[in-house]
């Protein structure tokens, strides 16, 4: 390296040293007004936390899980059944153990010495003991007022006597907007009273497979295990949702049950002891985008069948009608119409905007109450099972002998109780009962669903026909 090159390096080094030693000049000018705005937002979040945190409770539920042996894959179960080998036994393993579930809740009402708490059904489901810890550290044993698995909402209560306890204020989830700031409060991983904030990412989320009735608020406010049952609040401290679910291994994907749905569930449980839902009585399918374009509509549902004697039938609704509005509101699809109907009080009259033979019409329907057999039949879906009556046509199609009758399994949800029991599509449920002594032929879906509901946690004993063999299984809800 010559003298000129050495000089050049020395100059560059000196310049670099001077540059690094000089103070960095801010490229963004922050004004006092900017700080005032930031501090205002900070104060809003502080205010919400101060208002709502005292009403948030920690819930620990204890349930008993029973089992006889480790889960055996269906293909191995079939092997043992078909060749008459006894199922493997594990006599040294415990028959049951206690499981604790952690969650959150919030006090919504105090009456006659009882404090009522909203939470998720899955937080207290099948619990034999529920412990509630208040924000001040007081611990109580809770009683279940009622629960609604369809919406994953539950109402429990604790005896507080004359003690004053804070109550959360409920808002109106129908008025929320996408992009609105929200604050989530709960007890993730037993970290009591944790506060996170974000925005409403979306509304009306459904088809997630979490609940039979879905209309979730989606938020990016951090929600973790233990947050379930806690409140999602607006900037005024009003509860607009119940934090319910997260997408595992994802960030910023949390879901909450709208508080208006929870308010209806709470009202019905307190007044009737059960949830009352409206019923229209139709089978429907989504209108495809191409069909919608031809009819000049944005969305809607097409009626594929009208149940005889139903409110829809009495109002004159026909197969082939396209329902486009419900009391003036656009029908966005099957889930949207179902939600509108079940949230309508039985006896209320609603206006359906329909398209029939290419012409727009409006018909008035008096919404009925969902029949008990319709509500009970939904129990089958929670077991991951779909069935239908075995007709002569199905017998011929599936190659089932003439002397076999009952219900044919049309769908099994992977990982469901029906799947765990070893049932498969094409199986025929020949007879069912709560024990061997009262096994009876299965003649209808409704009768089978009622038996499932009656058996509840004890399970239903099924005699099943498959490929020339008959065997027994017990179908029961997950522990």
Domain boundaries, the chain: 54-159, 173-272, 278-369, 372-475
* Catalytic residue list contains 61: no
Among the listed residues 162, 91, 158, the one whose alpha carbon sits nearest the alpha carbon of residue 130: 158
Catalytic entry in 58, 61, 104, 122: 122
Does the annotation place 343 within a ligand binding site?
Answer: no
Q: How many CB atoms lie within 10 A of CB 330?
A: 13
Active-site residue 373, yes or no? no
- Upper half-sphere CA count for residue 11 (Cβ side, 13 Å): 6
Q: pLDDT value at position 52?
A: 94
pLDDT of residue 88: 58
Q: CB neighbours (10 Å) of residue 347?
A: 10
Residue 193, Cα to own-chain centre: how many angstroms?
Answer: 24
228 carries a ligand binding annotation:
yes
Q: Is 227 annotated as a binding residue?
A: yes
Alpha-carbon distance of 323 to 317, in angstroms, equals 10
- Give the residue among 226, 182, 190, 191 at the shortest CA–CA distance from 48: 182
- The pLDDT value recorded for residue 420 is 83
Separation CA 262–CA 118 (nearest Å): 8
Q: Rounded to whole angstroms, how far apart are CA atoms 351 and 340?
A: 12
The CATH number, out of the four listed (2.40.10.10, 2.40.50.140, 3.40.50.300, 3.40.50.2300), of the domain defined by the range 54-159: 2.40.10.10
Q: Is 112 annotated in some ligand binding site?
A: no
Active-site option among 152, 234, 336, 427: 152
Distance CA 192, CA 237 (A): 18
Residue 20 parent element (H or E): helix 3-21
CA 216 to chain centre: 8
Q: Are 140 and 156 in contact (CB under 8 A)?
A: no
CATH 2.40.10.10 for the 173-272 domain, yes or no: yes
User: Looking at the whole model, is its pTM more than 0.75?
Assistant: no
> For 463, phi and psi rounded to 5 degrees?
-100, 120
- pLDDT < 70: residue spans in the chain: 1-26, 64-98, 209, 372-379, 381-382, 415, 456-457, 477-479
122 is in an annotated binding site: yes
Beta strand residue intervals within 112-224, DSSP E: 114-120, 129-133, 139-141, 143-148, 153-159, 181-186, 194-205, 216-219
Report the CATH architecture of 278-369.
Answer: Roll (2.30)
Topology of the domain comprising 372-475: Pdz3 Domain (2.30.42)
Residue 152 falls in the annotated catalytic set: yes
Which position among 61, 104, 173, 228 bears the catalytic label? 228
- Fold equal for 278-369 and 372-475: yes
Gap between the Cα atoms of 293 and 5, Å rounded: 75
Find, among 228, 268, 255, the residue nearest to 105 by Cα: 228
Cα distance between residue 336 and residue 156, in whole Å: 29
């Amino acid at each position: 390296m010559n003298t000129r090159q050495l000089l050049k390096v020395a100059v560059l080094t000196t310049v670099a040293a001077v540059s690094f030693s000089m103070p960095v000049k801010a490229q963004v000018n922050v004004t006092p007004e900017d700080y005032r705005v930031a501090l205002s937002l900070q104060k809003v979040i502080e205010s919400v936390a101060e208002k709502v945190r005292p009403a948030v409770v920690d819930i620990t539920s204890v349930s008993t899980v029973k089992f006889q042996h480790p889960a055996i894959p269906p293909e191995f179960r079939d092997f043992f059944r078909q060749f008459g080998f006894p199922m493997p036994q594990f006599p040294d393993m415990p028959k049951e153990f206690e499981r604790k579930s952690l969650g959150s809740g919030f006090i919504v009402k105090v009456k006659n010495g009882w404090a009522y708490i909203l939470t998720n059904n899955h937080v207290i489901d099948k619990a034999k003991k529920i412990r509630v810890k208040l924000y001040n550290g007081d611990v109580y044993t809770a009683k279940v007022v009622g629960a609604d698995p369809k919406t994953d909402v539950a109402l429990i209560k604790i005896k507080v006597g004359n003690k004053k306890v804070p109550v959360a204020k409920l808002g109106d989830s129908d008025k929320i907007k996408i992009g609105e700031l929200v604050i989530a409060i709960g007890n993730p991983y037993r970290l009591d009273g944790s506060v996170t904030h974000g925005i409403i990412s979306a509304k009306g989320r459904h088809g997630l497979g979490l609940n039979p009735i879905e209309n979730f608020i989606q938020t990016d406010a951090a929600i973790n295990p233990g947050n379930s049952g806690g409140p999602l609040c607006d900037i005024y401290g009003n509860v607009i949702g119940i934090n319910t679910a997260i997408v595992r291994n994802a960030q910023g994907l949390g879901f909450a049950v709208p508080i208006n749905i929870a308010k209806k569930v709470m009202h019905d449980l307190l007044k009737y002891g059960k949830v009352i839902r409206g019923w229209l009585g139709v089978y429907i399918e989504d209108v495809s985008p191409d069909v919608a374009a031809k009819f000049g509509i944005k969305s809607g549902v097409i009626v594929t069948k009208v149940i005889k004697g139903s409110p829809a039938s009495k109002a004159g609704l026909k197969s082939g009608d396209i329902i486009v509005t419900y009391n003036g509101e656009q029908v966005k699809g099957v889930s949207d119409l179902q939600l509108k109907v079940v949230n309508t009080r039985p006896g209320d009259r609603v206006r359906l905007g329909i398209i029939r033979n290419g012409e727009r019409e409006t018909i008035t329907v008096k919404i009925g109450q969902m029949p008990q057999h319709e509500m009970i039949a939904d129990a089958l879906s929670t077991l991951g099972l779909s069935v239908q009556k075995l007709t002569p046509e199905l017998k011929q199609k599936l190659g089932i002998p003439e002397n076999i009758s009952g219900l044919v399994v049309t769908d099994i949800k992977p990982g469901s109780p029906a799947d765990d029991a070893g049932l498969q599509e094409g199986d025929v449920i020949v007879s069912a009962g709560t024990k061997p002594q009262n096994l009876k032929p299965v003649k209808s879906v409704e009768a089978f669903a009622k038996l499932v509901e009656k058996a509840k946690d004890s399970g239903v004993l099924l005699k099943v026909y498959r490929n020339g063999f008959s065997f027994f299984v017990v179908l029961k809800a997950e522990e």
